[in-house]
Homo-oligomer: A and B are copies of this chain.
Amino acid sequence: MKKKVESIEVKNKSISQLLAEMAKTAFQGRKLGETVEVWEEMLKEKDLTIIMGLAGSLSTAGQWKIVNWLIKNRFIDVLVSTGANISEDIIEAMGSSYWQGSPAVDDVALLKTDINRYYDVYGLESDYRKMEEFLTDFIFTLDPDYPYSSMEFLYKLGKWLNEKGIKSIVAVAAEHKVPVFCPAIADSAYGEAFLLAKSRGHNLIVDGMKDFYQFMSIGEKTGDVGVIYIGGGVPKDFTQLLAVSLSLKLKDQRIPRRKGFARDATGEYYYPHRYAIQITTDSPQWGGLSGCTLEEAISWGKIANEGKRVTCYCDATIALPLITHALNERVNFKREAPDFSWLLDKSS
C-alpha cells in the first residue's frame, strides 16, 4: 500500500511518462503528476459530468486553444469562466495578436502607445475596441429587454461566431454543445459592449439568477460530477454551489443513481462532487476560496470524501499545457460525454 518516493532518472521519455514519474516524487511535482491520473479516471467514469471553472485572464497567455481542445475532445462538458477568458480570445480568433512584453516597463509609456499590459503580455487597445464593437454588433441581433442567462447569451454568441468562422472558445463550445456560464459577465468586455449598445439604443438584460437556476438544473439531470478548477474566484465558487444548492432543490426527491449521502445531524441530502482537480497559485493560509484546500469543501458537502481529488499549486500556464499534452498521449479511448442539447436547445 505504501508507495516509495522514486528519484527521477533523466532519459528519453514522453510527456505523460515524465508526469507519471513525477507522480512518484513529492511536493507539487507529485501533485502535477497526480492531476493527470485523476483526470484520466474521470474520463473513464460512466455518467459523469465534468465542469471546468476557468478563472483569470488566461486567453491572453496562450492558453485558449487548449480550452478549445478540451471542449472538442469532450474532456470537459460544462465551462464556467470569467468574462476575460471568453472575450480576449476573440481578439486572436479574429486575427489580431498579443505580444510578449515585460512586467518591468514604464506603464505610462505603454498607455501613450495604446498598449494594455497583462503582466508580461501586451495587447493593443485598438484591438480590444475592435472586439468590443464586434460584440456590440452581436448584441444588436438579440431581443431587447429579454432576460437572458449568460449561458443563453454565450450560446447564441458562439453560433453567431461560428457563422463567421471565428473559432473562439464560446464558438467551439457552441459547436460541441458545451454550455458556457459566465456569472459575472458584465465585468468584462461584455459589459462594455453592452454600454455601447445601450448608448446606441439597444438594451440587454443578463439575469444572474436565471444563470444560477439553469446551472443548477444541470445538477438535477446528471449523475456524478467532477470539477476542474483552473484558479479560483467566481468560477470555482459558482461551480461548487451546484453541490449545495441541489440539497435545497432536491430535498424531497430520491435520485438513486447519484452517490449522495445524508448528513448525520439533519438527515439532509447532499450531492458533493466526486472528483476534483484544482490548479492554483493562491495559498490556504489567507483564508480565501481561491487557495483553500479541497478538504475544506468536504465540510460544506461540496466535495465527496470518497472521491478522488488533487490540488496542485502551480501557475496554470505551466500546469495546463503539461496536463493536457499528457492526456493527449494517454487517453486512447472514446469517452461517452453527456449530452446538453436539452439545456442549450431550450434557449436557442
Contacts and interface: CB of A to CB of B under 8 A. Distances in A.
Interface string A201-231: 0011111111111001000000000000001
A179 interface: no
A1 B191 CA distance: 35
14 contacts: A5-B60, A7-B65, A11-B328, A12-B329, A15-B18, A25-B62, A29-B61, A57-B288, A107-B298, A119-B288, A192-B244, A194-B213, A195-B216, A198-B213
A63 B21 CA distance: 11
Contacts of A117: 296, 299-300
Given A18-B322, A26-B62, 17 more contacts: A9-B65, A10-B66, A10-B321, A22-B62, A29-B62, A29-B321, A56-B289, A107-B299, A110-B298, A114-B263, A116-B300, A120-B287, A126-B266, A147-B207, A150-B208, A285-B315, A318-B318
A318 B208 contact: no
Contacts of A289: 56-57
Nearest to A9: B65
Contacts of A347: none
A5 B62 contact: yes
